[in-house]
A and B are shown apart, each in its own frame.
Chain A
Amino acid sequence: MKLCNAFFLLSMLCCAVTVAQNDSINRLGKVTIVADSYVRNNVVGQKVTLITGDNIVKNPTNLTETLRFNSVVAIRDYGNGGTSSARFRGTSAANTAVMWNGINVNAIGNGQTGLNSLSLNTADEIVIKSGGGSVKYGSGAIGGSIHANDNLYFHKHQNFQLFSSYGSFNTTSNFLKTNLGTEKWALKLGANFNKSDNDYDLIDERYKDANGNYLKNSNGDYENYGLNLSVGYQFTEGNTLSFYTTGFKGDRLFSGELQNPSAANEKYKDINQRNLLVWEVQKNQFSHVVKTAYLTQEYRYFKNKNSNSFDFGKSKRWLFNYDFKYHFNKKTTINTYVDIQNIEGDVSGVPNKKYREQYAFAFGFNSIINKQWKYNIESKKEFNSAFKVPTVFSLGSNYALNDNNEILLNISTNYRVPTLNDLHWPGQGNEDLIPENSKQIDAGYQYKNDWFTFKSTLFYMHVLDKIIWTPIGDINRPDVWTPINLNESIHKGAEFYASFCYPFSKYHSVDVATNYIYTVAKDTETNKELIFVPRHLFNATVNYQNNIFTAYVQNLSQSKVYTTEDNINTPGAVLNGFTVFNAGTGVSLLKKGTKSLHVILAVKNIFNQLYLYSISRPMPGRNYNLNINYKF
């Protein structure tokens, strides 16, 4: 992967002058409620990056695309718009926690979040936290976590954003985002709608029909709707009540593979609903946050889209969380929290509903030793009705060398609990499973000045007792696939992020954001690389803007991945590395105060590159879309 290195050097060299994204919170300078303020402001010793609304509108089609072009998360999907799962640092999809306003929303059935089963287009920001975070974010936060936050602003404001895009393959992505507020009230309303025929040409020269035309991606249509509402009320300063609710409904067909994509006939539906109530009181040296949430999730899988029979998985989850902080002084804080969760799962084929109760107690100590040095220690113990959960702990520390340079350290242990499927799948589940667990160390260096931000992390992670489905799982039933705690793996590598934003003059500005991750993830027993883990993953966005004109180029590069556990290095068992480019250009038709109107024409995969994330499932070739982004 010469290319990745080249790009990396490039970003290092040119980004000598830049600026971090100004976040809305600083700009407004007013009281803002972020449900998951911890990840936003209080993570110590770990690398955190942001995907802002401006990034989202460049890749609005689905969350898979948003993350691919803007983060270090490697994503495997089964065709464009199909099942999609995120992996940090070569860990599994179930080792990635997806958080909605601070609540872990990974499915109860398989422990993952399908990235095309939710839409985060109206999120105010998506925060990417690399590395384990089980103390705070629970099961699954082994490799890293993805946080979507809806923010509430308590000051007089009225902001609307309407975004609409239409393009190739009848693809449309639209959302409306409204933020309203006074000193007392804050409201956010988001609505989104995405739809596509997704019937693109599979641009592999080797597979053509009798007339010499490319085969088409068949049975790939999708359509989804989402609605989010967040309301906050500020009783007095430091005493707020906020309520978040969201609903999502998605209908998808699962597309086919080469050599005969037209054989595909599967259908999938998602219905998710989440509610969260947060009461936050800060008084004197005390702060209390009480949260309660009720989440429902349902999927229906139709083997035959024309038939009414389907398999399903349903879950209901209720949780209560009380977080207490005591500030001894400005420098020292202790906090403790209690988390109670009640889970009900119902999967077709599993005769009885399954229940799980869990209680967790956590304790944290934060200390700012001096202007330069701060650290925190956190620990959590979870009790679970189904199995024993290890006590996890985390130690984080930031040390500022001077105003610009900072070094970071984090040591933590993390876990992922067996899912309901792992435990109870009829005839195959294994009730003796224990949670997967990991030990990790992150060492980081960050540089920041007014224009330029650089973040880097070296990581080392040991994942144990990995839950693997295998036909040798049960010695008494040799041909039956069952899950067991089998493998161990070691993940090491480095992550880098650099961004700059340089206003050349009053009218011109250039900003660049780039991510690179180098990962070596190997099974400790076989010493083979884990499958679908690229050694190099790189992306970059270069954006130029003046008062009328705007243009950007995006790039994504991924190196070769092995698809088999014995790492056979032949064309049938590897996915080649690739580089794709997107670009967009447009005009600003209106720019007055907070009002703006942009019309952008975007070309994706400009060079019509054949690239795949799953065997026999090429991604779309060159395609176009036109979008309008109106803020008023």
Chain B
Amino acid sequence: MKITKQILKLLVIALIIVSCNNDDSIELINRDYSNGILISGEGSGAGTGSVTYLSSDQTLKYQFIYLSANGTQLGTYLQSMAFNENSAFIIVDNANTVTVVDKKTFIKTGEIKTDLNTPRFMTVVGDKGYITNWGDPYNTEDDFIAVADLNTNAVEKIISVSNGPEQIVVKGNKLYVSHKGAYGTNNVVSVIDTATDDVVEITVKENPDELLFNNNGDLLVLSEGSIVYDPWPTIKSETKAAIHIINTTTNTITKTIEFKEGEHPSLMTYDNGQIYYYLSGGVYKVNSGEETLPTTALISQSLYGMAVKNGNLYGVEPSFTAQSDLYVFDLSTKEKVFTTKVALGASKIYFTE
């Protein structure tokens, strides 16, 4: 049995060679990410959700900062992040997980892993986290806001709401939730009293998504409008998109700026009295007080996420199979002044200063 023995011997040797060079561990890196820009990427089959850090002066960039800080990955799809003074909360919808990290170092300090079902967005009120959940995206009856105790990271109660709760913002003791409708459509903004958990609904145009407060403290809502094909490209029914301004004292709509039929904006941000919105390949600007919408784009660029700060517009054009592009535009010259590669499936931009 000489040959047999020899083969086995060689197999064992080969095995040892392999066993030695197999090392999955990652060197953990402790950095300070507290002053700069965070770009979250949803991730895909090519890589899980991840976060890219870019310093305010754009000279330093670090990719996969959660992975570098913790050696582990976040899962897909990283939907959004929320912040309080010390922590960042990373919401990954397919993983039904909110990962809590130190805002400065991104080292994990906890996680909310139970009683969530397709979590989307979160806002923090004191030591409570309010997390919007779709439940089963096809089911219109099981949607809720999970209320998590941030001392224990446990969901202490849920508040049932209308279908497809998306973004959530807080003003005083009122939470405002846009109901984009999950895989269907919806046309309400819920107002939740944090003391009583009572829910009041404000009817808006279909598919409200982005929520922001303007300088007057009014709530801006971007309703995208809906479009139903039967079959594509035959349109069965279509509703108009609109920007609503809601008075947060009376919780009534004070102004609605309608888009033209066939226009479906998907992003909105606000800076210093100006509303910026994104509509099929272009960024438009409208003064908060205007009644009519511009007809020409400020910047022509396909975007999936955007934010404005200090006269610059930051926008991401994602790739789900490679790194995405981050562009910075100078709003006064409308020129692209900076481009860099960021997280896979980049979708949201946050300023941490």
- Chain B hits for A572, CB < 8 A: 47-48, 50, 63-64, 67, 73
Q: Which of B92-100, B172-180, B332-340 contacts A (4 or more CB under 8 A)?
A: B92-100
Cβ-defined contact, A14 with B136, below 8 A: no
| Residue in A307, A555, A566, A578 whose beta carbon sits within 8 Å of that of B323 in the complex | A566
| Residue in B21, B136, B319, B322 whose beta carbon sits within 8 Å of that of A303 in the complex | B136
Q: What distance in Å separates the Cβ of B136 from its nearest Cβ neighbour in chain A? A: 4
Would you give 14 A-B contacts (Cβ < 8 Å), ordered by A? A2-B17, A3-B14, A17-B3, A204-B24, A260-B113, A352-B231, A427-B232, A479-B302, A564-B47, A564-B321, A572-B48, A572-B50, A615-B45, A616-B48
Cβ-defined contact, A544 with B323, below 8 A: no
Q: Taking chain B's interface residues, is the majority helix, strand, or loop, or is none over half, making it mixed?
A: loop
Cβ-defined contact, B1 with A564, below 8 A: no
Binary contact track A211-255/B, C-beta < 8 Å → 1, others 0: 000000000000000000000000000000000000000000000
- Chain B hits for A206, CB < 8 A: 71-72
Binary contact track B3-20/A, C-beta < 8 Å → 1, others 0: 110111011011101110
Q: Which of A59-67, A415-423, A606-614 contacts B (4 or more CB under 8 A)?
A: A606-614
- Chain B hits for A512, CB < 8 A: 7
* B22 interfacial contact with A, CB 8 Å: yes
* A95 interfacial contact with B, CB 8 Å: no
Q: Which residues of A512-558 are within 8 A (CB) of B?
A: 512, 531, 542, 544, 553, 555, 557
The listed residue with most B CB atoms (<10 A of its CB), out of A207, A257, A472, is: A257
Cα–Cα distance between A579 and B26 once the two chains are bound (Å): 20
| Residue in B3, B46, B95, B138 whose beta carbon sits within 8 Å of that of A263 in the complex | B95
Cβ-defined contact, A259 with B72, below 8 A: yes
B264 to A, closest residue via Cβ:
A479
Binary contact track B228-246/A, C-beta < 8 Å → 1, others 0: 0111110000000000000
| Residue in B18, B50, B74 whose beta carbon sits within 8 Å of that of A3 in the complex | B18
* A338 interfacial contact with B, CB 8 Å: no
* B75 interfacial contact with A, CB 8 Å: yes
Cβ-defined contact, A7 with B14, below 8 A: yes
* A510 interfacial contact with B, CB 8 Å: yes
Cβ-defined contact, A478 with B302, below 8 A: yes
- Chain B hits for A14, CB < 8 A: 3, 6-7, 10
Binary contact track B32-53/A, C-beta < 8 Å → 1, others 0: 0000000000000111101000
Chain B interface (Cβ < 8 Å from any Cβ of A): 1, 3-4, 6-8, 10-11, 13-15, 17-19, 21-22, 24, 26, 45-48, 50, 63-64, 67, 71-76, 92, 94-97, 99, 113, 136-139, 229-233, 266, 280-281, 302, 304, 319, 321-323, 341, 344
Cβ-defined contact, A578 with B22, below 8 A: yes
- Chain A hits for B99, CB < 8 A: 259
Cβ-defined contact, B63 with A570, below 8 A: yes
Cβ-defined contact, B10 with A10, below 8 A: yes
| Residue in B47, B95, B229, B323 whose beta carbon sits within 8 Å of that of A260 in the complex | B95
* A158 interfacial contact with B, CB 8 Å: no
| Residue in A309, A350, A581 whose beta carbon sits within 8 Å of that of B15 in the complex | A581
Cα–Cα distance between A155 and B162 once the two chains are bound (Å): 71
- Chain B hits for A576, CB < 8 A: 22, 24
| Residue in A479, A510, A578 whose beta carbon sits within 8 Å of that of B304 in the complex | A479
| Residue in B1, B14, B95, B233 whose beta carbon sits within 8 Å of that of A508 in the complex | B1
| Residue in B3, B280, B344 whose beta carbon sits within 8 Å of that of A478 in the complex | B280
- Chain B hits for A204, CB < 8 A: 24
B19 to A, closest residue via Cβ:
A607
| Residue in B63, B72, B233 whose beta carbon sits within 8 Å of that of A207 in the complex | B72
* A258 interfacial contact with B, CB 8 Å: yes
Q: What distance in Å separates the Cβ of A424 from its nearest Cβ neighbour in chain B? A: 9
Q: Taking chain A's interface residues, is the majority helix, strand, or loop, or is none over half, making it mixed?
A: loop
- Chain A hits for B72, CB < 8 A: 206-207, 258-259
Cβ-defined contact, A259 with B304, below 8 A: no
The verdict on A257 contacting B76 (CB below 8 Å), with A304-B139, A508-B1 known, is yes
The verdict on A257 contacting B95 (CB below 8 Å), with A471-B302, A571-B64, A616-B75 known, is yes
- Chain A hits for B63, CB < 8 A: 568, 570, 572
* A563 interfacial contact with B, CB 8 Å: yes
A566 to B, closest residue via Cβ:
B322
* A565 interfacial contact with B, CB 8 Å: yes
The verdict on A426 contacting B229 (CB below 8 Å), with A303-B138, A309-B138, A504-B1 known, is yes
Cβ-defined contact, A568 with B22, below 8 A: no
Cα–Cα distance between A576 and B323 once the two chains are bound (Å): 19
Cβ-defined contact, B95 with A564, below 8 A: no
Cα–Cα distance between A372 and B230 once the two chains are bound (Å): 63
Cα–Cα distance between A226 and B279 once the two chains are bound (Å): 52
Interface size class for chain A? 35 or more
Q: Which residues of A323-359 are within 8 A (CB) of B?
A: 350-352
A538 to B, closest residue via Cβ:
B14
Q: Which residues of A287-331 are within 8 A (CB) of B?
A: 303-304, 307, 309
The listed residue with most B CB atoms (<10 A of its CB), out of A577, A610, A616, is: A616
B67 to A, closest residue via Cβ:
A572
Q: What distance in Å separates the Cβ of B109 from its nearest Cβ neighbour in chain A? A: 14
- Chain A hits for B139, CB < 8 A: 304, 307
B183 to A, closest residue via Cβ:
A303
The verdict on A303 contacting B137 (CB below 8 Å), with A10-B14, A563-B46 known, is yes
Cβ-defined contact, B3 with A510, below 8 A: yes
Q: What distance in Å separates the Cβ of B287 from its nearest Cβ neighbour in chain A? A: 26
Cβ-defined contact, B67 with A259, below 8 A: no
- Chain A hits for B7, CB < 8 A: 10, 14, 510, 512, 542
B18 to A, closest residue via Cβ:
A579
Cβ-defined contact, B232 with A259, below 8 A: no
The listed residue with most B CB atoms (<10 A of its CB), out of A14, A479, A542, A570, is: A479
| Residue in B11, B281, B322 whose beta carbon sits within 8 Å of that of A553 in the complex | B11
Across the A-B interface, the 10 shortest Cβ-Cβ residue pairs = A351-B231, A263-B96, A427-B232, A566-B322, A579-B18, A565-B322, A260-B95, A572-B64, A478-B302, A304-B136
Cβ-defined contact, B75 with A260, below 8 A: yes
Q: What distance in Å separates the Cβ of A85 from its nearest Cβ neighbour in chain B? A: 12
The verdict on A542 contacting B11 (CB below 8 Å), with A427-B229, A564-B47, A572-B73 known, is yes
Cα–Cα distance between A428 and B231 once the two chains are bound (Å): 11
Q: What distance in Å separates the Cβ of A214 from its nearest Cβ neighbour in chain B? A: 13
- Chain B hits for A352, CB < 8 A: 231
Cβ-defined contact, B344 with A564, below 8 A: yes
Cβ-defined contact, B48 with A615, below 8 A: yes
Binary contact track A401-431/B, C-beta < 8 Å → 1, others 0: 0000000000000000000000000111000
Cβ-defined contact, B73 with A259, below 8 A: yes
- Chain A hits for B232, CB < 8 A: 426-428
- Chain A hits for B18, CB < 8 A: 3, 557, 578-579
The verdict on A259 contacting B95 (CB below 8 Å), with A531-B321, A564-B46 known, is yes
Cβ-defined contact, A502 with B73, below 8 A: no
- Chain A hits for B94, CB < 8 A: 257, 263
B318 to A, closest residue via Cβ:
A471
* A587 interfacial contact with B, CB 8 Å: no
- Chain A hits for B233, CB < 8 A: 427
| Residue in B4, B47, B71 whose beta carbon sits within 8 Å of that of A615 in the complex | B47
Q: What distance in Å separates the Cβ of A203 from its nearest Cβ neighbour in chain B? A: 11
| Residue in B76, B137, B304, B323 whose beta carbon sits within 8 Å of that of A568 in the complex | B323
* A368 interfacial contact with B, CB 8 Å: no
Q: What distance in Å separates the Cβ of A469 from its nearest Cβ neighbour in chain B? A: 10
Cβ-defined contact, B45 with A257, below 8 A: no
Knowing that A571-B64, A615-B48 touch, tell me 9 more A-B residue pairs with CB under 8 angstroms: A3-B18, A6-B14, A7-B14, A351-B230, A478-B302, A504-B3, A508-B1, A557-B18, A572-B64
* A597 interfacial contact with B, CB 8 Å: no
* A30 interfacial contact with B, CB 8 Å: no
Cα–Cα distance between A578 and B21 once the two chains are bound (Å): 9
Q: What distance in Å separates the Cβ of B192 from its nearest Cβ neighbour in chain A? A: 25
Cα–Cα distance between A616 and B14 once the two chains are bound (Å): 27
Cα–Cα distance between A466 and B32 once the two chains are bound (Å): 44
